[in-house]
Homo-oligomer: A and B are copies of this chain.
Amino acid sequence: MGHVVSGSGAALTAAPASARSAAAKGLIMRTAERLYASRGLAEVSIRQIGEAAGQRNKSAVQYHFTGRDELIKAILAEHAEATERHRFAMMSPLGDVAGLSLRDQTRCIVLPRIEHHVELGTPSWYGRFLAQVVVEPALREYALQAHLDTPSLRRLYDAIHSRRDRHGPGQAYDPERGARREAMIRQLVVHMTAELEAELAREQPAADIAAEAWRRLGADLVTAVCGLIAAMDADENT
């Protein structure tokens, strides 16, 4: 944790090297996320990120993160962790996910992402950043596996796939169809979140108005996803 950078001569009043290093890392991550989200992954170099984060050393980003992909993974991990905290708080009182209604299972998939955005405030950058990362060939698989397929999400998707009322008599579960349903839900959540974030960044509403817009999107997504799942199930049973 924290690389010690020639910090032995620092005065006692200065932060220790490890704390300074952690602060620099955090600053680089927030700067990178903002630049990537607003200009696009293609338009931002590692060097520009270091400069915009006020790092005098031209290789500060490489020093802290090795390179672009590791920097991006660190940003993703931070948000995934925060989202999982919301999901855990939401799911803990509900008991076994298999016993929940489809709507409640869907809520547990969608709403922790929404609450994370409410917490981030406006403007935020994560939504647009993630939307770019999931279509970037070099990062796509990593983003999907590490952050859009966490153990808690896995349990929820599995519960949705195996709901007993879904299967007609003698009908086998079709894993390909399950994967497609999951992909549709993921695409809707990731890309609709990015769209609302862009809109709020343009319009800069007050915090309570923004929170309301996020929760309206959350409710619409839950409704849309439930409708989509029910229609695909009905189709499968005919």
Contacts and interface: CB of A to CB of B under 8 A. Distances in A.
Interface of A: 37-43, 128, 131-132, 135-138, 177, 180, 183-184, 187-188, 191-192, 194-195, 217, 220, 223-232, 234-235
B232 A223 contact: yes
Most buried by B among A37, A180, A225, A226: A180
A159 to B, nearest CB: 19
B40 A137 contact: yes
Most buried by B among A41, A135, A234: A135
Given A39-B137, A41-B40, A135-B128, A184 B188 contact: yes
Copies of this chain present: 2
A61 to B, nearest CB: 15
B224 A231 contact: yes
13 contacts: A38-B137, A39-B138, A41-B41, A42-B42, A135-B135, A180-B192, A184-B188, A187-B191, A187-B195, A223-B232, A227-B228, A227-B231, A230-B231
B235 A228 contact: no
B230 A136 contact: no
Contact of A131 (B41, B135, B235): B135
B227 A223 contact: no
Contacts of A191: 135, 187, 191
